Amino acid sequence: MMVRHTAAGFAVLALAACAAPSQHAGGSAPPRLDGESGQYTLLKSVRPARLTPFTTAAGETVDLGHFRGKVVLLSFWASWCAPCLYEMPLLDRLAREMAGADLAVVPVSIDERGLPAAAAFYRAHGLRDLGIYLDPDQRTAYFDGTNRNDAEFALYGLPISYILDRQGRVMGYITGAVDWQSDAAARLLRHYLAVDDAGAARTSE
């Protein structure tokens, strides 16, 4: 059972854009983060994310290029996913605490029922600070072994979160519900936030 932490860890995270940590994404390995089903795993081959479109609650089409210049926490979920009940409120709080920072929290629903299912879930669980993004046809993500649409992000389970750096490169992923309020999560996100869009560590002004 994961323990929910206070916002103290995020006081450090909020300073990440102007403070260089001892480790950064352009050099050594990121700090360890464990989820309910596994730990954060670096991809063997870092690659730019393809600009596969998904939609917003307003019906607008966007892609990951919309968030270029920010670190992206891309989380795939569905209304029928039991662990998502735990994780989504934590992502909502993270989005609220990091408003205006260089982190984009992007939860993409793969629920086949689309907006009605996602909107009902948000209302039922009081989610107010997360955007709603939809991929009911799984053009962006696919379940392992069923990549019939040539989608990019493998779903080894739900929820699953990928981290993209400021250049839009897919760096790694973590499966299962994650305590995004934990100190370990703050350290991992700080690791990527402390690197600028040219891949160099940011320094204090």
pLDDT at residue 121 is higher than 80: yes
What is the pLDDT, as a whole number, of residue 45?
A: 86
- Please count the CA atoms within 13 angstroms of the CA of 13 that sit on its side-chain side: 27
All domains of the chain in start order, with CATH = 33-193 (3.40.30.10)
**Structure token pair of residue 169:** 């490169």
Rounded to 5°, the CA angle 141-44-71 comes to: 60
pLDDT at residue 193 is higher than 60: yes
What is the pLDDT, as a whole number, of residue 46?
A: 87
What is the pLDDT, as a whole number, of residue 94?
A: 97
Question: 183 φ, ψ to 5°?
Answer: -65, -35
pLDDT at residue 100 is higher than 90: no
Rounded to the nearest 10°, the torsion over CA 37, 80, 136, 148 is: 50
Beta-strand relationship, 71-77 and 169-175:
unpaired
What is the pLDDT, as a whole number, of residue 91?
A: 98
Mean pLDDT across 133-146? 85
pLDDT at residue 52 is higher than 80: yes
What does the radius of gyration of the chain's CA atoms come to, in whole angstroms? 16
- Kindly indicate the confidence band of residue 2, based on its pLDDT and cuts at 50, 70 and 90: very low
Which residue's entry shows tokens 């069923």? Answer: 146
- Please count the CA atoms within 13 angstroms of the CA of 32 that sit on its side-chain side: 3
The span from the CA of 41 to the CA of 38, in Å, is 8
pLDDT at residue 16 is higher than 50: no
Closest CA to 78 of 168, 143, 27: 143
The span from the CA of 188 to the CA of 193, in Å, is 9
Mean pLDDT across 91-107? 93
What is the pLDDT, as a whole number, of residue 7?
A: 45
